[in-house]
């Protein structure tokens, strides 16, 4: 019987590869966690620290270092980190070398509520607790805080954050009543009475036309308030 040596070589090579893979997989599973790494992704990495994450994991799971890799439940660790009120999402995995790596995206506050309760409003419109590690420089929201007024404040803040000029100059939102909002600017004693949240694009377009003209005429400091409450009008109040 003629032996197909080429086929024999191929089968032998495949068996060797499978054997090596099985050996490497077995060795990997029996290896211990050698190191724990916490990586914060994006720009907003101030509200939670690596030390705080490690402390959280120790309180929940004990020391994970030197734990056999096969005993580490990645999904449970990932869920524990993701459930932190400062975390937007998290990914946890083990490297071949035995390093337990946590990649974390933190939540992003866009406004800070100053009332009976103090908290942030994040970029998803959800409440976010203050952090003991960092205080965000975002517009302050004051006045009559209700569920509806916070929803409106979120709409206003989203618009403000999308405009370079407004983002740099709006420092606060005062809620006088539902559908009656006032913006505070960096200019001392200068406010913009916005009214409701309808037609924000048109209102701010009118405001910018006023602002450019008043800046050109060097009269901006003569005004203490600008009202955008009336359709296609800008009503100014002088000092």
Q: What is the pLDDT along the chain (239 residues), one digit of tens a residue?
A: 455 555 555 555 665 565 445 444 544 555 788 888 999 998 766 899 999 999 999 999 888 888 888 888 899 999 999 999 999 999 999 988 889 999 999 999 999 999 889 999 999 999 999 999 999 999 999 999 999 999 999 999 999 999 999 999 999 999 998 889 999 998 767 889 999 999 999 999 999 999 899 889 988 888 888 999 887 788 888 87
Cβ atoms < 10 Å from Cβ of 190: 16
Distance of CA 117 to the CA centre of its chain: 21
**Contacts by 214-219 with C-beta closer than 8 Å and gap 24+?**
none
- Residue 211 Ramachandran class (φ > 0 left, ψ -120 to 50 alpha, else beta): alpha
What's the CA gap between 103 and 107, in Å, rounded?
13
What's the CA gap between 83 and 179, in Å, rounded?
34
What's the CA gap between 211 and 134, in Å, rounded?
34
Neighbouring-strand partners of residue 121: 111, 127
What is the tens place of the pLDDT at every residue in 130-154? 999 999 999 999 999 999 999 999 9
Tokens of 238: 């002088």
Q: In what order do the strands lie in the sheet with 235-238?
A: 127-128, 118-122, 109-114, 140-143, 170-177, 180-185, 191-195, 223-227, 235-238
What is the 8-class DSSP label of residue 75? H
Neighbouring-strand partners of residue 128: 120
Mean pLDDT, the chain, whole residue set: 86
Tokens of 78: 């990932």
SS3 3: coil
Q: Quickly name the fold that domain 31-106 has.
A: Ubiquitin-like (UB roll) (3.10.20)
In the chain, residues under CATH classification 3.10.20.310 are: 31-106
Tell me, what's the pLDDT at 29?
A: 53
Considering only CA atoms, which of 32, 125, 40, 33 is closest in space to residue 81? 40
What is the 8-class DSSP label of residue 33? P
User: What percentage of the chain's residues is helix, strand, coil (to nearest 5)?
Assistant: 40, 30, 35
What is the 8-class DSSP label of residue 70? G
Distance of CA 37 to the CA centre of its chain: 21
């Amino acid at each position: 019987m003629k032996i197909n040596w080429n086929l024999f070589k191929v089968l032998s090579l495949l068996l060797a590869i499978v054997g090596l893979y099985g050996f490497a997989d077995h060795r990997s599973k029996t290896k211990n966690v050698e190191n724990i790494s916490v990586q914060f992704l994006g720009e907003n990495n101030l509200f939670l620290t690596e030390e705080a994450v490690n402390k959280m994991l120790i309180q929940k799971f004990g020391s994970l270092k030197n734990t056999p890799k096969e005993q580490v439940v990645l999904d449970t660790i990932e869920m524990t980190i993701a459930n932190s009120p400062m975390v937007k999402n998290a990914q946890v995995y083990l490297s071949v070398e035995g390093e337990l790596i946590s990649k974390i995206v933190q939540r992003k506050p866009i406004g800070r509520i100053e009332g009976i309760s103090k908290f942030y409003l994040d970029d998803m419109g959800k409440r976010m607790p203050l952090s003991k590690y960092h205080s965000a420089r975002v517009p302050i929201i004051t006045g009559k805080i209700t569920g509806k007024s916070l929803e409106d404040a979120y709409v206003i803040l989203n618009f403000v954050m999308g405009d370079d000029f407004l983002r740099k100059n709006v420092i606060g939102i005062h809620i006088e009543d539902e559908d009656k909002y006032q913006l505070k600017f960096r200019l001392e004693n200068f406010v913009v009475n916005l009214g409701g949240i309808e037609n924000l694009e048109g209102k701010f377009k009118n405001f910018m036309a006023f602002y450019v003209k008043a800046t050109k005429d060097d009269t901006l400091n003569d005004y203490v308030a600008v009202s955008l409450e009336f359709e296609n009008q800008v009503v100014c109040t002088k000092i």
